[in-house]
Amino acid sequence: MASFCKTCDTKLDENTPFCPVCGTENDTLPGPAPQQQPLQQQYSPPLQQPGLQPQPGQQPQYQPQPQYPPQPQYQPQPQYQQPANVNYTSAAPQKKKVSPLIIFGIPIAVIIVIAAVVFLFGLRGQNRNDPTIEENPVISTDITDTIENSSEATDNPPEVTDNPPEETGVFTKEYDFGTYTGDLVNGLRHGNGFIQFTNGDTYDGEWKDDKKDGHGYYTWLNGETYDGGWKDDKKDSYGFYTWPNGDTYEGDYVNGSMHGYGVLKWSNGAIYEGNFEAGLIQGYGIMTYADGSISEGEWENGAFVE
């Protein structure tokens, strides 16, 4: 007699001990209960066995789902425990103690050094004031013999004069060439002074070692004048010269002559502006004549070249 599975309602034969679909025991069979098949046999795919395919019009049989292996249980991580003998509280850094040797040793060393320096300088000053110590080293006898036997030492002894020192100050002094009134230094015209020459010329200005040097004003007896710089009794640097007929020159002087840049004006109205060399028009310059004509270019020995 046919029966049905109490679990999945699958039709069971009277000789089938277990349901081929879900593996449930067929308890309608007479006699002792059969042994349950292993789990691997219970979950073998029944549809792959011949004769167990569902027929048309029949209800599909239940397919058991495969069981997955159990997941491992979560193991709690061990909690970190702080050692009992460790103190993590922050503390202020401890100030290092300075050794008393450093505190007292450094000042004592400085005092010793200062005392040594003072002693050395005092000893040096004492040696300087000691008359028994010679200031100059002893000269070799060979060198002294050479000096004594030389002709310069015997034939030309140093001159010794009993003349009193020359005048220094402001004086009036007579010379063969004129009369000087002004500053003297050791008897020499030095500073500011005025001189009247015997030929009628005059000079009023600066002097240096008996020579016109610096700025001064010179007047010749014929009426020519010069106002400017002097060096070693000669016109030098920059000056202004006039002639009795009205001609003038203003510009550079070197060694007593017009030399460099200057402007020469004639009484008739002509003007030259340009370069001079050794008292002559030389080099580049512009000549404006009395009639208004102009020559500009190079000049040589006072003549226009181009």
Q: What are 156-165's pLDDT values in tens digits?
A: 434 433 334 5
Task: State the pTM of this model.
Answer: 0.47
| Confidence category of residue 119, pLDDT binned at 50, 70, 90 | confident
Which helix (H) or strand (E) segment is 207 a member of? Answer: strand 202-208
| Confidence category of residue 12, pLDDT binned at 50, 70, 90 | confident
Look at residue 164 in the predicted model and tell me its pLDDT: 44
Tell me the per-residue pLDDT of 90-103, one tens digit each, with 9 for 90 and over: 455 556 666 776 77
Look at residue 15 in the predicted model and tell me its pLDDT: 72
Given the structure tokens 């103190």, which residue do they identify? 87
Residue (of 198, 191, 190, 192) closest to 174 by Cα position: 198
- Between 23-27, 212-216, 290-294, the lowest mean confidence (pLDDT) is in 23-27
Q: Which whole number is the average pLDDT over 65-70?
A: 58
Look at residue 134 in the predicted model and tell me its pLDDT: 42
- Residue pair 52/20 in contact (Cβ under 8 Å)? The answer is yes
Residue (of 174, 170, 173, 172) closest to 183 by Cα position: 170
Q: Which two tokens stand for residue 40?
A: 């691997």
- Between 107-111, 182-186, 292-296, the lowest mean confidence (pLDDT) is in 107-111
pLDDT above 80: residue 146 = no
Determine the Cα–Cα distance for residues 53 and 42; give it in Å rounded to an integer. 17
Look at residue 260 in the predicted model and tell me its pLDDT: 96
Pairing of strands 234-242, 11-12: unpaired
Tell me the per-residue pLDDT of 177-200, one tens digit each, with 9 for 90 and over: 999 999 999 989 999 999 999 999
Q: Which whole number is the average pLDDT over 35-46?
A: 48
pLDDT above 60: residue 126 = no
Look at residue 40 in the predicted model and tell me its pLDDT: 46
- Residue pair 6/24 in contact (Cβ under 8 Å)? The answer is yes
Between 256 and 11, the more confident residue is: 256
Determine the Cα–Cα distance for residues 2 and 6; give it in Å rounded to an integer. 13
Q: What does the mean pLDDT of the chain come to?
A: 75
